[in-house]
């Protein structure tokens, strides 16, 4: 599933093409792409046609395009295989295309924003904008302290300037759950999925099953530093790509997969100690780690 770096790469790619653009036509080809939208496909098409986009923002794995009425936005979640692609006006339909927005930009001319989704777990919706709980800008790409109501329960991500490090440490101290489970909890910290959780825990030398409350203040700070370093490196490399589904708006894959130290390296030597990386079942997925470098800590 796309994580913070993948979604941010998409948002950054969309922003210059959509901000200031007017929607000439909105076409829903598959209503399954509107599972989070409160109205019908016809409602979605009618409300967007003629509207202009004023911003492109992201929090965690959600991104949204604010519209010129100041009260609504098109909020998107890529799910497992969703793609938001920029195409030339009149371009042939994409494979698994679900929604197409034909837009006109004052500088870039006419373009198409295409939502393609093979597995149909992603979604688009027109949603109300609500105030942020802390009064700070809602996320990346915006100075406005408003976000879609569907995103209001999502915590800030570790790269957000308004992320509260002290609140993070306090939250860990209240959690007896495995630290990896906490990293994946989008109400605690957003944008981290299975890949970047494994990579951050490996870098911080923390076993994924260590109870969050068992981490010392020093270990919690070290983990947060490593989370940020992993996410920043992945952003610089365009995200992780294991197949053709994980692409930016131009259809290009990321390259962070070449930098992985733990995830997907079962049986290969740990880059730090040379012992084999192991894979254990975890929440219907897998954890990849080094048993030697990442020793489990129990609550005393």
**CATH code, domain with 74:** 3.20.190.10
Tell me: pLDDT of 245 over 70.
no
Q: What are phi and psi of 93, to 5 degrees?
A: -60, 145
Phi/psi-derived region of residue 170, left when phi > 0, alpha when psi is between -120 and 50, beta in every other case: alpha
Domain match, 231 and 118 both: no
Q: In the block, which residue shows the tokens 């409350």?
A: 213
49-53, 203-207, 229-233, 271-275: range with lowest mean pLDDT: 229-233
**Domain assignment of residue 160, yes or no:** no
> Which residue would you say has higher pLDDT here, 240 or 51?
51
Among residues 32, 174, 275, 285, the one annotated as catalytic is 285
Share of the chain above pLDDT 90, in %: 79
**Domain assignment of residue 296, yes or no:** no
- pLDDT tens sequence across 11-38: 999 999 999 999 999 999 999 999 999 9
Domain match, 132 and 178 both: no
Domain match, 139 and 244 both: no
Shortest CA distance to 34 belongs to which of 17, 47, 20, 23?
A: 47
**Domain assignment of residue 157, yes or no:** no
Alpha-carbon distance values, 82 to 62, 85, 117, 262 (Å): 12, 10, 4, 25
Q: Is 61 annotated in the active site? A: yes
**Domain assignment of residue 79, yes or no:** yes
Domain match, 137 and 253 both: no
Q: Is 3 annotated in the active site? A: yes
Domain match, 124 and 218 both: no
Residue stretches of the annotated binding site for DNA = 96, 119, 175
Confidence label for 97 from pLDDT (cuts 50, 70 and 90): very high
Name the residue range of residue 67's domain.
4-151
**Domain assignment of residue 172, yes or no:** yes
Confidence label for 298 from pLDDT (cuts 50, 70 and 90): confident
Q: Is 276 annotated in the active site? A: no
**Mean pLDDT throughout 252-268?**
75
Among residues 61, 98, 156, 180, the one annotated as catalytic is 61
pTM: 0.90
Confidence label for 259 from pLDDT (cuts 50, 70 and 90): confident
Give how many domains the chain has, as a whole number.
2
Q: What 3-state class would DSSP assign to 77?
A: strand
Domain match, 96 and 178 both: no
> How high is the pLDDT of residue 243?
38
């Amino acid at each position: 599933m796309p994580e913070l770096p993948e979604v941010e790469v998409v948002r950054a790619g969309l922003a210059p093409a959509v901000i200031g653009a007017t929607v000439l036509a909105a076409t829903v080809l598959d209503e399954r792409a509107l599972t989070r939208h409160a109205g019908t496909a016809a409602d979605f098409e009618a409300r967007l046609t003629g509207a202009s986009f004023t911003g492109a923002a992201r929090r965690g794995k959600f991104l949204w395009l604010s519209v010129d009425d100041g009260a609504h936005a098109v909020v998107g979640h890529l799910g497992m295989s969703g793609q938001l692609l920029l195409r030339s006006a009149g371009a042939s339909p994409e494979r698994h295309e679900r929604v197409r927005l034909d837009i006109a930009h004052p500088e870039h001319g006419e373009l198409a924003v295409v939502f393609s989704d093979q597995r149909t777990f992603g979604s688009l919706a027109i949603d109300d904008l609500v105030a942020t709980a802390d009064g700070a800008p809602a996320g990346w790409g915006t100075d406005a302290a408003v976000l879609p109501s569907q995103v209001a329960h999502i915590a800030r991500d570790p790269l957000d300037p308004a992320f509260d490090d002290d609140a993070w440490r306090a939250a860990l101290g209240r959690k007896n759950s495995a630290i990896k489970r906490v990293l994946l909890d989008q109400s605690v910290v957003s944008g981290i999925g299975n890949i970047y959780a494994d990579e951050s825990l490996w870098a911080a030398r923390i076993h994924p099953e260590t109870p969050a409350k068992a981490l010392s203040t020093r270990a919690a700070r070290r983990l947060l530093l490593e989370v940020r370093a992993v996410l920043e490196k992945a952003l610089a490399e365009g995200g992780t790509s294991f197949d053709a589904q994980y692409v930016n708006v131009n259809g290009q894959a990321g390259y962070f997969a070449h930098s992985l130290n733990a995830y997907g390296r079962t049986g290969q030597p740990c880059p730090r100690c040379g012992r084999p990386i192991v894979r254990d079942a975890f929440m219907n997925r897998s954890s990849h780690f080094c048993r030697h470098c990442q020793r489990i800590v129990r609550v005393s």
